[in-house]
Protein backbone atom coordinates (compact mmCIF):
# COMPACT_ATOMS: atom_id res chain seq x y z
CA UNK A 1 0.00 0.00 0.00
CA UNK A 2 1.28 3.46 -0.88
CA UNK A 3 1.74 5.85 2.07
CA UNK A 4 1.53 8.97 -0.09
CA UNK A 5 -1.71 10.91 0.25
CA UNK A 6 -3.34 12.60 -2.69
CA UNK A 7 -4.04 16.27 -2.08
CA UNK A 8 -7.64 17.20 -1.42
CA UNK A 9 -9.75 17.61 1.68
CA UNK A 10 -8.22 15.56 4.44
CA UNK A 11 -9.83 14.68 7.73
CA UNK A 12 -7.38 13.70 10.44
CA UNK A 13 -7.84 12.78 14.04
CA UNK A 14 -4.17 13.34 14.86
CA UNK A 15 -2.94 11.65 18.02
CA UNK A 16 -6.32 11.78 19.73
CA UNK A 17 -8.86 9.37 18.40
CA UNK A 18 -12.51 10.33 18.17
CA UNK A 19 -14.19 8.74 21.13
CA UNK A 20 -17.18 9.27 23.34
CA UNK A 21 -16.16 11.43 26.30
CA UNK A 22 -16.85 10.00 29.72
CA UNK A 23 -19.36 11.72 31.99
CA UNK A 24 -16.71 13.72 33.84
CA UNK A 25 -15.15 15.06 30.58
CA UNK A 26 -18.59 15.99 29.21
CA UNK A 27 -19.55 18.11 32.17
CA UNK A 28 -16.11 19.71 32.63
CA UNK A 29 -15.44 20.75 29.04
CA UNK A 30 -18.96 20.93 27.60
CA UNK A 31 -20.10 18.69 24.81
CA UNK A 32 -18.77 19.41 21.32
CA UNK A 33 -20.81 18.34 18.33
CA UNK A 34 -19.41 15.76 15.94
CA UNK A 35 -19.02 18.46 13.26
CA UNK A 36 -17.03 20.68 15.65
CA UNK A 37 -14.68 17.81 16.47
CA UNK A 38 -14.14 17.07 12.77
CA UNK A 39 -13.68 20.75 11.87
CA UNK A 40 -10.91 21.07 14.44
CA UNK A 41 -9.02 18.25 12.74
CA UNK A 42 -9.39 19.18 9.07
CA UNK A 43 -6.63 20.29 6.74
CA UNK A 44 -7.94 21.67 3.47
CA UNK A 45 -6.10 22.70 0.33
CA UNK A 46 -7.33 25.50 -1.90
CA UNK A 47 -7.61 24.84 -5.62
CA UNK A 48 -4.58 27.08 -6.11
CA UNK A 49 -2.55 25.08 -3.58
CA UNK A 50 -3.57 21.78 -5.17
CA UNK A 51 -2.50 23.08 -8.60
CA UNK A 52 0.85 24.39 -7.33
CA UNK A 53 1.58 21.18 -5.44
CA UNK A 54 0.80 19.07 -8.50
CA UNK A 55 2.99 21.30 -10.69
CA UNK A 56 5.87 21.13 -8.23
CA UNK A 57 5.53 17.45 -7.40
CA UNK A 58 4.86 18.10 -3.71
CA UNK A 59 3.34 15.17 -1.85
CA UNK A 60 2.98 14.41 1.84
CA UNK A 61 3.00 11.20 3.83
CA UNK A 62 0.35 10.82 6.56
CA UNK A 63 2.96 11.49 9.28
CA UNK A 64 3.87 14.76 7.58
CA UNK A 65 0.24 15.83 7.40
CA UNK A 66 -0.07 15.15 11.14
CA UNK A 67 2.97 17.34 11.81
CA UNK A 68 1.52 20.14 9.69
CA UNK A 69 -1.83 19.88 11.50
CA UNK A 70 0.02 20.10 14.84
CA UNK A 71 1.87 23.20 13.59
CA UNK A 72 -1.43 24.81 12.62
CA UNK A 73 -2.81 23.95 16.06
CA UNK A 74 0.17 25.70 17.66
CA UNK A 75 -0.32 28.76 15.45
CA UNK A 76 -4.04 28.85 16.30
CA UNK A 77 -3.25 28.65 20.02
CA UNK A 78 -1.16 31.81 19.64
CA UNK A 79 -3.94 33.62 17.76
CA UNK A 80 -2.39 33.43 14.29
CA UNK A 81 -4.56 34.19 11.27
CA UNK A 82 -2.27 33.66 8.26
CA UNK A 83 0.88 31.68 8.83
CA UNK A 84 3.94 30.57 6.91
CA UNK A 85 4.44 26.88 7.67
CA UNK A 86 7.85 25.50 6.68
CA UNK A 87 8.48 21.77 6.49
CA UNK A 88 11.93 20.77 5.21
CA UNK A 89 12.21 22.53 1.82
CA UNK A 90 8.46 23.16 1.45
CA UNK A 91 6.81 26.40 2.48
CA UNK A 92 3.05 26.81 2.74
CA UNK A 93 0.88 29.82 3.42
CA UNK A 94 -1.99 28.65 5.64
CA UNK A 95 -5.15 30.46 6.66
CA UNK A 96 -5.25 29.24 10.25
CA UNK A 97 -8.93 29.83 11.17
CA UNK A 98 -10.17 27.92 8.10
CA UNK A 99 -7.24 25.45 8.29
CA UNK A 100 -6.69 25.90 4.55
CA UNK A 101 -3.35 25.73 2.72
CA UNK A 102 -3.50 28.68 0.32
CA UNK A 103 -0.32 27.97 -1.64
CA UNK A 104 2.79 25.83 -1.43
CA UNK A 105 6.33 26.28 -2.71
CA UNK A 106 9.21 23.85 -2.96
CA UNK A 107 12.91 24.59 -2.48
CA UNK A 108 13.42 25.71 -6.08
CA UNK A 109 10.53 28.18 -5.88
CA UNK A 110 11.61 29.62 -2.51
CA UNK A 111 14.65 31.46 -3.88
CA UNK A 112 14.14 35.21 -3.75
CA UNK A 113 10.55 35.13 -2.49
CA UNK A 114 9.22 37.61 0.03
CA UNK A 115 6.24 36.46 2.08
CA UNK A 116 3.76 39.19 2.91
CA UNK A 117 0.42 39.39 4.68
CA UNK A 118 1.34 36.75 7.25
CA UNK A 119 1.31 37.22 10.99
CA UNK A 120 3.31 34.19 12.03
CA UNK A 121 5.70 31.47 10.93
CA UNK A 122 5.96 27.89 12.16
CA UNK A 123 8.95 25.67 11.43
CA UNK A 124 7.94 21.99 11.43
CA UNK A 125 10.60 19.48 12.40
pLDDT at 82: 98
**28 phi, psi to nearest 5 deg:** -75, -40
Cβ-based neighbours of 42, under 8 Å, separated by 6 or more:
9, 10, 11, 12, 99
**pLDDT tops 50 at residue 14:** no
**pLDDT tops 60 at residue 6:** no
Residue 15: which pLDDT band, with cuts at 50, 70 and 90? very low
**pLDDT tops 90 at residue 73:** yes
**pLDDT tops 80 at residue 38:** no
3-state DSSP of 55-102: HHCCCECHHHHHHHHHHHHHHHHCCCCEEEEEECCEEEEEECCCCEEE
Mean of per-residue pLDDT scores for the chain: 80
**16 phi, psi to nearest 5 deg:** -95, 125
Amino acid sequence: MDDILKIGHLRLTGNSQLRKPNQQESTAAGTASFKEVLDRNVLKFSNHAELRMAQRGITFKPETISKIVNAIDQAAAKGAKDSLVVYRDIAMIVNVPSRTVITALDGNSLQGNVFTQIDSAVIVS
